[in-house]
Amino acid sequence: MAKKWGQLLKSWMTKNMELPQDVMMDLPRITMIGQIHIYIENHRGLLAFSDKEVRLLLEQGQLLIKGNAFVIKTILPEEILLEGKIDQVIYIT
């Protein structure tokens, strides 16, 4: 019950205080530049990395990125910049 109340409060604050939804609802912010760069903010950690696949933990679910020649350019506790040829970005619930 408390978790549902928290979600309702966050939703109300987002609407009435004009705050970005990604900040209040713990959603990831994904910025892609073509097929070569992807910048993800507000993730909860790196679960798997290879030159063909990256899997990130989110507050609710996971993010799977598939492609080729992946290189992590920047990694911070809640941000990552990935470079390579990006073929797919999949949200897993």
- CATH code, domain with 41: 2.60.40.2000
Residue 22: both structure tokens together: 């990604």
Residue 48 falls inside a structural domain? yes
Residue 18 falls inside a structural domain? no
Residue 15 falls inside a structural domain? no
Neighbouring residues of 8: CB distance < 8 A, sequence distance ≥ 6? none
Q: Please tell me the distance from the alpha carbon of residue 87 to that of residue 76, in angstroms, as a whole number.
A: 24
**What's the number of domains the chain is made of?**
1
pLDDT at 26 over 90: no
Q: What is the pLDDT of residues 33-49, one digit of tens each?
A: 999 999 999 999 999 99
Cα-to-chain-centroid distance, residue 5: 24
Residue 28, classed as helix, strand or coil, is coil
Question: What pTM, to 2 d.p., does this model score?
Answer: 0.75
Half-sphere exposure of 15 (CA within 13 A, CB side): 6
Residue 45 falls inside a structural domain? yes
- Rounded to the nearest integer, the mean pLDDT of the chain is 87
Residue 59 falls inside a structural domain? yes
**Domain interval for residue 84:** 26-92
Residue 12 falls inside a structural domain? no
Residue 77 falls inside a structural domain? yes
Residue 6 falls inside a structural domain? no
